[in-house]
């Protein structure tokens, strides 16, 4: 046996039940605004992503069928099972949005956002602002619970600020309101993305709730997933930034947990068919012009750390025609034989690589 190999099977990979929904595994794709659209979700699924989420969708936008909201919830048969994430603050509007999702979309579950720290979201009393008012949170969760028979989950942060951490209180409220699982990204709202995620908060929540707890935060590679499972006892893990330009992360986590092996991320030529599939799906979804613009950020992530990546991006970002861009991608990734850094978005990347992804609200701040 190779020294780091272990007997097959993993104590961490297992089916998980969320309300009536039985999922065959416990590696999930996190909701990411501007990123987890239908094309990206369907690219991650064959890699072993068991459950994927839409980005947060405004409940009021959904009710008036605003174009952006309808695009966020667009789905198809390859996009199963799907968690639709809503945000809002008014119980009556949320109730109506949940009814629409339940009746009109083939959603496997509805997730409610109580963690977003974006100014625009906070201004309407939504997202992480709800953490400041536990009684209000209970009213909202009870309204949501009453409006749908679908499994209902909630995604939270550890609290509003370091002096007002209340993930346990909010978790208990969720459980007693009939919520079927809680996801915790263990940073406080005022912390943004600074510092390390406080995984001990996930462990604390898990120890105190009987509904499943999903851990989110700082899983950038297979070893991180293993550490989160073992340190927190969480029931499932959610991968966000670690999946950018790196949908293989799900398969690599699975392999690592099952065998102990630590395979490097695929090199350029292996990346090519996946990113071309992603590219074609993006153009089919948004149309050529908008699709090409939208795909640039993914191209930046896919090429991160590859030799000549900065020059490739400079060339590729000037192209707005499908066939020329295709030829450029085939030429670059087809010849790019070395593996990218093992834990994107790792520290060891060439100087001009794209910076680590930061949500737009953080960049403005």
Ligand X SMILES: Cc1cc2nc3c(=O)[nH]c(=O)nc-3n(C[C@H](O)[C@H](O)[C@H](O)COP(=O)(O)O)c2cc1C
Q: Which residues are catalytic?
A: 116
Please state, in angstroms and rounded to a whole number, the distance separating the CA atoms of residues 52 and 127. Answer: 20
Residue number, 83 or 268, with CB nearest to ligand X: 83
Does 240 participate in binding ligand X (rule CB under 6 A)? Answer: yes
Instruction: Give the nearest distance from C-beta 156 to ligand X in angstroms.
Output: 9
3-state SS, residue 310:
helix
Residue number, 165 or 329, with CB nearest to ligand X: 165
Q: What residues between 95 and 154 interact with ligand X by CB under 6 A?
A: 113, 115-116
Does 234 participate in binding ligand X (rule CB under 6 A)? Answer: no
Residue number, 214 or 283, with CB nearest to ligand X: 214
Instruction: Give the nearest distance from C-beta 331 to ligand X in angstroms.
Output: 29
Does 236 participate in binding ligand X (rule CB under 6 A)? Answer: no
Taking CB under 6 A as the binding criterion, the range among 91-99, 164-172, 211-219, 269-277 that sits at the site for ligand X is: 211-219
CB 244 within 8 A of CB 299: no
Q: Which residues contact 48 (CB under 8 A, 6 or more apart)?
A: 25, 27, 250, 251, 253, 254
Taking CB under 6 A as the binding criterion, the range among 26-34, 100-108, 170-178, 303-311 that sits at the site for ligand X is: 26-34
Pattern 35-54, ligand X, x by CB under 6 A: x-------------------
Q: At what angle do helices 249-259 and 222-232 cross, to 10 degrees?
A: 60
Instruction: Give the nearest distance from C-beta 120 to ligand X in angstroms.
Output: 12
Does 83 participate in binding ligand X (rule CB under 6 A)? Answer: no
Other CB atoms within 10 A of residue 74 CB: 13
Query: Dihedral (C-alpha) 162, 167, 168, 174: value to the nearest 10 degrees?
Result: 160
For tokens 């499943």, name the residue. Answer: 212
Q: What residues between 339 and 358 interact with ligand X by CB under 6 A?
A: 357
Residue number, 251 or 325, with CB nearest to ligand X: 251
Residue number, 147 or 154, with CB nearest to ligand X: 154
Q: Which residues contact 159 (CB under 8 A, 6 or more apart)?
A: 131, 165, 166, 167, 170, 188, 189
Does 171 participate in binding ligand X (rule CB under 6 A)? Answer: no
Does 242 participate in binding ligand X (rule CB under 6 A)? Answer: yes
Does 31 participate in binding ligand X (rule CB under 6 A)? Answer: yes
Sign of the four-CA dihedral 349, 351, 354, 358: positive
Does 56 participate in binding ligand X (rule CB under 6 A)? Answer: yes
> Which residue's beta carbon is nearest to the bound ligand X?
240
Residue number, 162 or 289, with CB nearest to ligand X: 162
Residue number, 114 or 272, with CB nearest to ligand X: 114
Does 216 participate in binding ligand X (rule CB under 6 A)? Answer: yes
Please state, in angstroms and rounded to a whole number, the distance separating the CA atoms of residues 341 and 332. Answer: 17
CB 89 within 8 A of CB 60: no
Q: 68 phi and psi, to 5 degrees?
A: -60, -50
User: Is the bond preceding 81 in cis, omega lying within 30 degrees of 0?
Assistant: yes
Instruction: Give the nearest distance from C-beta 115 to ligand X in angstroms.
Output: 5
Please state, in angstroms and rounded to a whole number, the distance separating the CA atoms of residues 352 and 343. Answer: 18
Does 167 participate in binding ligand X (rule CB under 6 A)? Answer: no
Instruction: Give the nearest distance from C-beta 3 to ligand X in angstroms.
Output: 30
3-state SS, residue 161:
coil
3-state SS, residue 123:
helix
> How far apart, in Å, are the Cα atoms of 90 and each of 143, 144, 156?
10, 10, 18
Does 62 participate in binding ligand X (rule CB under 6 A)? Answer: no
Does 239 participate in binding ligand X (rule CB under 6 A)? Answer: yes
> Which positions lie near ligand X, rule CB under 6 A?
30-33, 35, 55-56, 85, 113, 115-116, 155, 185, 216-219, 239-242, 357, 359
């Amino acid at each position: 046996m190779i020294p780091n190999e272990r007997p097959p099977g993993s104590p961490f990979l297992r089916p998980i039940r969320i309300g009536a929904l039985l999922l065959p595994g416990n590696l999930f794709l996190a909701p990411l605004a501007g990123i987890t659209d239908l094309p990206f979700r369907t690219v991650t699924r064959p890699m072993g992503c068991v459950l994927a989420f839409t980005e947060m969708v405004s409940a009021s936008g959904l009710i008036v069928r605003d174009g952006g909201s309808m695009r966020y919830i667009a789905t198809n048969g390859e996009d199963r099972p799907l968690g639709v994430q809503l945000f809002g603050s008014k119980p009556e509007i949320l109730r109506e949005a949940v009814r629409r999702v339940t009746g009109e979309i083939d959603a496997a579950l509805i997730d409610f956002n109580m963690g977003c720290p974006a100014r625009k979201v906070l201004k309407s009393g939504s997202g992480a602002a709800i953490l400041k008012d536990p009684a209000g949170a209970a009213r909202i969760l009870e309204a949501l619970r009453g409006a749908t028979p679908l499994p209902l989950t909630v995604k939270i942060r550890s609290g509003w600020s370091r002096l007002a951490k209340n993930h346990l209180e909010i978790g208990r409220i969720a459980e007693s309101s009939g919520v079927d699982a809680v996801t915790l990204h263990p940073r406080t709202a005022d912390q943004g993305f600074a510092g390390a995620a406080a995984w001990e908060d996930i462990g604390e929540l898990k120890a105190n709730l009987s509904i499943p707890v999903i851990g989110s935060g700082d899983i950038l590679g297979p070893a991180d997933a293993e550490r989160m499972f073992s340190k927190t006892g969480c029931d499932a893990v959610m991968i966000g930034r670690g999946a950018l330009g790196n949908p293989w992360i799900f398969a690599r986590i699975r392999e690592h947990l099952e065998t102990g092996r630590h395979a490097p991320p695929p090199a350029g030529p292996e990346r090519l068919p996946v990113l071309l599939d992603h590219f074609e799906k993006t153009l089919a979804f948004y149309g050529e012009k908008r699709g090409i613009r939208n795909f640039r950020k993914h191209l930046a992530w896919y090429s991160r750390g590859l030799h000549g990546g900065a020059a490739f991006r400079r060339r590729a970002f000037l192209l707005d025609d499908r066939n020329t861009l295709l030829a450029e991608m085939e030429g670059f990734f087809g010849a790019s034989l070395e593996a990218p850094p093992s834990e994107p978005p790792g520290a060891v990347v060439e100087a001009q690589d794209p910076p680590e992804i930061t949500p737009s609200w953080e960049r403005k701040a």
